[in-house]
A and B are shown apart, each in its own frame.
Chain A
Amino acid sequence: QKEVEQDPGPLSVPEGAIVSLNCTYSNSAFQYFMWYRQYSRKGPELLMYTYSSGNKEDGRFTAQVDKSSKYISLFIRDSQPSDSATYLCAINTGGFKTIFGAGTRLFVKA
């Protein structure tokens, strides 16, 4: 079993839709949770960074962590064509090593 599981998609939605991206993980020691956005031919860009359970909101983006279920989510409200990218979840125990999901490709159609 992989430490982090993420559906690679692709996920295609119409402009304005609410997008839900998810990851599951296996190690309950993970404490730091991140979401990265990667545009084609660019490096991963940090979107959200959270510690422990709960929600964090930043504009149209909401990150949600449920440690009891070992499940993390990223919600995008009012999705735009410019949100089309690959989204990677990433988790860390507090040490140096961050485990990345495989990434979900998202397409937002105008």
Chain B
Amino acid sequence: DAGVIQSPRHEVTEMGQEVTLRCKPISGHNSLFWYRQTMMRGLELLIYFNNNVPIDDSGMPEDRFSAKMPNASFSTLKIQPSEPRDSAVYFCASSSRGHGQPQHFGDGTRLSIL
């Protein structure tokens, strides 16, 4: 079975540029999560979607960050304009319906802002 698929795997861009990260969740999963991982702060939840609807975006650090889920099989996380402090690994995860269900992660996008 295909797991969570993220693209691109690596992104290097200059400060001020727009960055778009993409995610395809596991088929049949109705919950989708975007995380950011750094050495200093570990895994931070940015936003959570349930049935394609954003439920909690309190972890989104600034208005420069936005996320969409136009359908059950695709989500994007956009940073505009990007800054060097946004450099991190960004993970997408999905889980199936039900309380406390474990999340399944993609292999992440390693983002470097110069």
Q: Please pick, from A43, A88, A90, the residue contacting B108 in the complex, using a CB distance under 8 A.
A: A43
Q: Please pick, from B42, B99, B105, the residue contacting A43 in the complex, using a CB distance under 8 A.
A: B105
Closest to A103 in B: B42
A95 at the interface (CB under 8 A from B): yes
Within 8 A of B (CB), among A39-56: 41-46, 49, 51
Kindly state the separation between the CA atoms of A100 and B45 in the bound complex, as whole angstroms. 10
Mark interface residues in B28-48 (1 if CB within 8 Å of A CB, else 0): 000100000000001101001
Q: Interface residues of A toward B: which range?
A: 20 to 34
B68 at the interface (CB under 8 A from A): no
A62 at the interface (CB under 8 A from B): no
B56 at the interface (CB under 8 A from A): yes
Closest to B105 in A: A43
Query: Does the CB pair A41–B48 fall under 8 Å?
Result: no
A80 at the interface (CB under 8 A from B): no
Q: Do most interface residues of chain B lie in helix, strand or loop, or is the interface mixed?
A: strand
Kindly state the separation between the CA atoms of A42 and B4 in the bound complex, as whole angstroms. 12
B75 CB, min distance to chain A CBs, angstroms: 15
Q: Which residues of A contact B43 (CB under 8 A)?
A: 44, 88, 100
Q: Please pick, from A41, A49, A93, A96, the residue contacting B102 in the complex, using a CB distance under 8 A.
A: A49
Within 8 A of A (CB), among B68-114: 91, 93, 99-100, 102-108, 110
Mark interface residues in A30-68 (1 if CB within 8 Å of B CB, else 0): 011010100001111110010100000000000000000
Kindly state the separation between the CA atoms of A102 and B42 in the bound complex, as whole angstroms. 6
Q: Which residues of A contact B42 (CB under 8 A)?
A: 100-103
Query: Does the CB pair A51–B100 fall under 8 Å?
Result: yes
Query: Does the CB pair B31–A43 fall under 8 Å?
Result: no
Beyond the given A41-B108, A96-B31, could you list 12 further A-B residue pairs with CB under 8 A, ordered by the A residue number? A32-B102, A41-B110, A43-B4, A43-B106, A43-B108, A45-B105, A90-B102, A93-B100, A96-B50, A96-B56, A97-B56, A102-B42
10 A-B pairs, CB-CB below 8 angstroms? Answer: A31-B100, A32-B99, A34-B102, A41-B107, A42-B108, A44-B105, A88-B43, A95-B100, A96-B55, A96-B56
